[in-house]
Structure 1
Amino acid sequence: MQMDVNGIKQHVLPHYLTAAELDHVSLTVAPLGNGHINSTWLVSSNQRRFVLQQLNTQVFTAPWSVVENAMVIANFLQQQTDNYALLLTYPVLTLTGQLAVDDRQHGFWRAISFVENSHSIEKMHTTAQAQQTAYAFGSFAAALGQLDATLLQQTITDFRHLAARMTRLQQLAAEDPLQRRQHCQPWLDFAVSQRALLDDVAQMEAQLPLRICHNDTKINNLLFDDDNQPMAVVDLDTCMPGYLMYDFGDMVRSCCASVAEDATQLADIDVLPEYFAAISQGWLQALAPVMTPLERESLWLGVKVVTLMLAIRFLTDYLDGDRYFRIHHAGHNLERAINQFTLYQRFVEHEAQLKPLLQSQ
């Protein structure tokens, strides 16, 4: 359930604030960010500020894994100050020392430290930002390179599992619960036509080391200072064991497209090679000492897989009644799916131009 400000003050904040803070005239609760999944608020009292978030438990069906992973990461990175220059966000405990508030009636809530004097950027505007973004996320992955990936829990099952995503899409298409298949049959056919990629993924993953990955490496999951320099990596909800090629692929997918991921003019969708070069440079600068040669080789596969996988996820959600991604109008997820399928096609078309850049840096 979506709770309003009064409900938050009445049912959630008493777990985090003293009676004096709750009654103080300075207390404010304001929406923060524009994420697709969770509801996020900035809480300001007379003594402190913190981020309050209601986790979407339809997406994060084991929400304790999210907050427990965040604590493992924060505890580890606090010991890595010589290897990690960015600021940390860390769980804010309840008054009784708990990582979250798990209320069957009012939802699952957790609090996170607020990074003062910071701001987020929704859209990348320069290749310098692309390089900085890649270097920041690469530094995050490199700093976590010494942490046993198996210490983290899976917060979303099969999140980066292309075969499972493909199977789920085909199941929903066969069931067609909302009679939407007729509107997207050509794109269903295209998705199925790419099944050969599954063998490439299976062969590559079998040879790669398991790493801790962020799994949502978009520029709006960084905080920047007043000089627009990266300050902190945020939104750790999908931090899980995985493979570096997917974090790189998600950055490229989200940063190198010429238009937004829900743009509907397909002729306008293209790849920006200068941004790809900048991202490759920043990523490899941060991770070259850590990555194996095969991990470096896997990066281009990650670009293709992540882009195709997101297209499949959007299309699956469209067939399923738009239950995962927040939409703004009817058919929004279908538009997103078509956009990402087209972007995937553009990456394939530009492979001969872009892939060599990963070896030249």
Structure 2
Amino acid sequence: MENMQAKEAALQFGKGKPVIQVLKGGLIHHTYKASYDEQGEQVVLQCINQTMFHHPEDIIHNYQLVYEAVHGKEGITIPPIIPAKDGKLYWIDKYNQFWRAIHFVEGSYTALVPKDAAAARLTANCFANFTSALASVELNLLRPVIPRFHDLAMRYEQFERAVLTATQQRLLTATHVIAELRQRHHLVEFYNEVGRRPDLFLQRVMHHDCKLSNILLDVNTHKAICPVDLDTVMPGLYFSDLGDMIRSMACSVDENSTDWEAIAIRPDFYDAIVEGYSSGMGDQLTSEELKHLHKAGLLMVYMQSLRFITDHLNNDVYYQISYPEQNLNRALNQLLLLEKLEEYVPVTVD
């Protein structure tokens, strides 16, 4: 049934009979590659997850705005959206599902995780180049697809509300994590201070989902072509992209690991990420942002631990789990990572 719907959608975006191939790796949307028998045209076809994105037209609006801003610029190329037969940049099927198609970039591939520090640097540099290339975009024209997505103060408030409403059983399992997160409230205070200084900590066009798997790589040179999965492109602060790359790439294990002893910061990866991002941003970072650059990882790891423990206390309503205490373990994983990061980058460094 699913492939039939994809075929019906594909007919709206290309000429001839489409051959549908499921593209794996994405966790949010249903994604396919549609190849047409006329002119050899190929598109990436997606059915947008409307549970997470309530206004998918905003995704299209932002994508088109970004595409027009970088089109023709040297160093970064974003594949264009393919209009449907009715001229719109999307198509809604009889089940009220929202479909879009983007040009398939020939000679490209994606990789899941960086195999070495050089790959981590490439990732950070690519996302920094992306933000840098969009410096002229008027931020008020971008629509907030997920309002307050990386608002640390809001995430902390959600955490404290969850503590008040959680069952006694959930609270007892989370006592240690709750106490340790409360002890680090100074990170929330720093975030609030950043918000009071918009002239020193600038809002920019941020990707908000920075990882190697969201970059197209050239099959011959293995260099970055461009970022993809631009659904969370919104105005944001420097730590959103830099910090999340530190969180996801500088750690020795992923966020689902329960091998507590194995959790560590990989210094070569950390340094490569910071250097790659800084060089990609060039002189766009303010002196105050440069001074507090190492806060980025601390803020994002702390925020993710807050989000995981909040979901555990709320009976696992947001993140998918495969066993009952997975969100608790994810929160502890991130807390341990935060401790390792604090050792590697002392809070007093700034």
TM-score with structure 1 setting the length: 0.87
**Residues 1:343 and 1:106: Cα distance change in structure 2 (over 3 Å):** same
Partner-residue secondary structure (3-state), 1:91? coil
Aligned twin of 2:240: 246
Partner-residue secondary structure (3-state), 1:299? coil
Alpha-carbon shift at residue 245 of structure 1 (Å): 2.2
Partner-residue secondary structure (3-state), 1:184? helix
2:332 counterpart of 1:338: yes
Q: CA contact under 8 A between 1:178 and 1:320: conserved in structure 2? A: no
Partner-residue secondary structure (3-state), 2:294? helix
The CA distance in 2 between the partners of 1:251 and 1:137, in whole Å, is: 10
The CA distance in 2 between the partners of 1:203 and 1:353, in whole Å, is: 16
Aligned twin of 1:163: 153
Aligned twin of 2:202: 209
**Residues 1:173 and 1:281: Cα distance change in structure 2 (over 3 Å):** same
2:136 counterpart of 1:146: yes
The CA distance in 2 between the partners of 1:284 and 1:349, in whole Å, is: 22
2:114 counterpart of 1:121: no
Aligned twin of 1:282: 276
Aligned twin of 1:295: 289
Per-residue Cα deviation, 1:111-158 (whole angstroms, up to 9, x for no partner): 222221111111111111122111111111111112122221111011
TM-score with structure 2 setting the length: 0.90
Aligned twin of 2:341: 347
Letter in 1 for 2:251: A
The CA distance in 1 between the partners of 2:162 and 2:42, in whole Å, is: 44
The CA distance in 2 between the partners of 1:328 and 1:139, in whole Å, is: 37
Aligned twin of 1:16: 13
Per-residue Cα deviation, 1:61-88 (whole angstroms, up to 9, x for no partner): 2222111100000011004x14xx1321
Q: CA contact under 8 A between 1:37 and 1:56: conserved in structure 2? A: yes
**Residues 1:138 and 1:287: Cα distance change in structure 2 (over 3 Å):** same
Aligned twin of 1:260: 254
2:102 counterpart of 1:112: yes
The correspondence for 1:219, drawn from 205, 209, 212, is 212
The CA distance in 1 between the partners of 2:4 and 2:314, in whole Å, is: 33
2:120 counterpart of 1:130: yes
2:209 counterpart of 1:234: no
Q: CA contact under 8 A between 1:214 and 1:239: conserved in structure 2? A: yes
- Count of equivalent residues: 344
Q: CA contact under 8 A between 1:61 and 1:156: conserved in structure 2? A: no
The CA distance in 2 between the partners of 1:104 and 1:204, in whole Å, is: 46
Alpha-carbon shift at residue 343 of structure 1 (Å): 1.0
Partner-residue secondary structure (3-state), 1:186? helix
The CA distance in 2 between the partners of 1:320 and 1:204, in whole Å, is: 29
Letter in 1 for 2:5: G
Letter in 2 for 1:201: Y
The CA distance in 1 between the partners of 2:286 and 2:149, in whole Å, is: 23
Alpha-carbon shift at residue 205 of structure 1 (Å): 3.1
What are structure 2's unaligned runs of at least 5 residues? Answer: none
The CA distance in 2 between the partners of 1:272 and 1:264, in whole Å, is: 18
Aligned twin of 1:359: none
Of stretches 324-333 and 243-252 in structure 1, the one that deviates more from structure 2 is 324-333
Alpha-carbon shift at residue 100 of structure 1 (Å): 2.0
Aligned twin of 1:196: 186
What are structure 1's unaligned runs of at least 5 residues? Answer: 357-361
Partner-residue secondary structure (3-state), 1:133? helix
Q: CA contact under 8 A between 1:257 and 1:270: conserved in structure 2? A: yes
**Residues 1:178 and 1:323: Cα distance change in structure 2 (over 3 Å):** farther
The CA distance in 1 between the partners of 2:101 and 2:36, in whole Å, is: 14
**Residues 1:9 and 1:333: Cα distance change in structure 2 (over 3 Å):** farther
Q: CA contact under 8 A between 1:37 and 1:326: conserved in structure 2? A: no
Alpha-carbon shift at residue 353 of structure 1 (Å): 10
Alpha-carbon shift at residue 240 of structure 1 (Å): 0.4
Alpha-carbon shift at residue 177 of structure 1 (Å): 7.4
Runs (4 or more) in structure 1 with deviation over 6 Å come to: none
Alpha-carbon shift at residue 104 of structure 1 (Å): 7.5
Q: CA contact under 8 A between 1:37 and 1:325: conserved in structure 2? A: no
**Residues 1:8 and 1:328: Cα distance change in structure 2 (over 3 Å):** farther
Identity, in percent, stands at: 27
| RMSD, aligned α-carbons | 2.4
Letter in 2 for 1:151: L
Aligned twin of 1:67: 60
Q: CA contact under 8 A between 1:225 and 1:231: conserved in structure 2? A: yes
Partner-residue secondary structure (3-state), 1:145? coil
Aligned twin of 2:85: 95
Letter in 2 for 1:232: C
**Residues 1:171 and 1:54: Cα distance change in structure 2 (over 3 Å):** farther
Aligned twin of 1:77: 70
Partner-residue secondary structure (3-state), 2:114? coil
The CA distance in 1 between the partners of 2:180 and 2:144, in whole Å, is: 30
Aligned twin of 1:310: 304
**Residues 1:107 and 1:155: Cα distance change in structure 2 (over 3 Å):** same
